[in-house]
Structure 1
């Protein structure tokens, strides 16, 4: 087999991004080197620069591809859910971080912090709207309480983002992930105030 022609005509950028993601998964963003990506793709070291100006441009393309995959995985979980799709969405978020900690670290900086690229911003806006629509539908079906959908989305994001980071940082035992994810998301759904607990007195 000719290992120097592993891609179809016109698909080299996609092939390079695929190999860059492999390196990301193996050892993190720092391991994504243009020369190694070219070697794995079976092309000359200079070939990637015909499509990506530099390593930063390649990493940007990687981040955008990972963000798309991240969203698709969550929506697939929603579509496959037998009950409470919103809960399936949160579970898939945390599971993705467990399965791909280096991808999550990359997204943490590029998607959840700092300035997003136009592509990331557009994708983030579309995904946020999809989640909001999911919440509204769940409210209409009596699965979620009637309150501001954006507030529900923000509270849920804070929960799954924090839980994901705790697993990635090894603060929580990943071998107990399935149980902990179920327990935490269930508690989030129930709320932590006991029935009949007195409400906070208004500030004077």
Structure 2
């Protein structure tokens, strides 16, 4: 029979219930952050017994980790789409995409940040992080080859881009940037830093001009 054996009073197929539980957990993250997620409430919303989630997740932390893995996949998809739809430099578009994600999904961004930086990562989160690093490295290489980016150390270019995008995103979440104007301001900041904020060195002041 298609779908496999049922799991729970609503008859979710065993393979599908895990996905349902994760999706509900992500919805609860959207509503109130990771702190709002409880296994009991996730089970209630999924229409299964309070013990059913524990057949898929050892505890609440494991459920949150699975939610973070789903968020990481969604985050990566949105950044790939931002690059594909870009009309200019794709590396810049992804930087704005990171800020846009934080504006649209602030609690998801915070969950992802805490899971990536707060301790040991799951294999799937490690893979997601490596995929994003490889993706941005390809964008930097493409920008250098096209002449849109200067021929600088690509690792430093990536680090600068990550730092700027991440900082702007976190500033938006923390309220330093107004959320309804964060993307416009971030675009201006990215362009400003992209052009360079230091005045090019001019001729030395004073001294002789070589004419006696």
The TM-score normalised by the length of structure 2 is 0.87
- State how far apart, in whole Å, the 2-side matches of 1:31 and 1:39 are: 14
Q: After superposition, what is the alpha-carbon deviation per residue over 1:28-82, rounded to whole angstroms, capped at 9, x for unaligned?
A: 1011101111111111111111111111110110111111111111111001112
In structure 2, do the counterparts of structure 1 residues 73 and 140 end up closer, same or farther at CA, with 3 Å as the change threshold? same
Q: Specify the alignment match of 2:133 in structure 1.
A: 128
Instruction: Report how far residue 8 of structure 1 moved.
Output: 4.7
SS at match of 1:10: helix
Which aligned pairs between 1:1-204 and structure 2 lie closer than 5 A? 5=10, 7-8=12-13, 10-196=15-201
In structure 2, do the counterparts of structure 1 residues 38 and 140 end up closer, same or farther at CA, with 3 Å as the change threshold? same
SS at match of 2:15: coil
The TM-score normalised by the length of structure 1 is 0.90
Q: How many residues align?
A: 196
Q: Which moved more, 1:138-147 or 1:109-118?
A: 109-118
Query: 4+ runs of 1 displaced by more than 4 Å?
Result: 6-9
Asked if the contact 2:69–2:125 (Cα under 8 Å) also holds between the matched residues in 1, the reply is: yes
- State how far apart, in whole Å, the 1-side matches of 2:118 and 2:189 are: 25
Asked if the contact 1:27–1:102 (Cα under 8 Å) also holds between the matched residues in 2, the reply is: yes
SS at match of 1:22: helix
Structure 2, unpaired ranges of 5+ = 1-8, 204-212
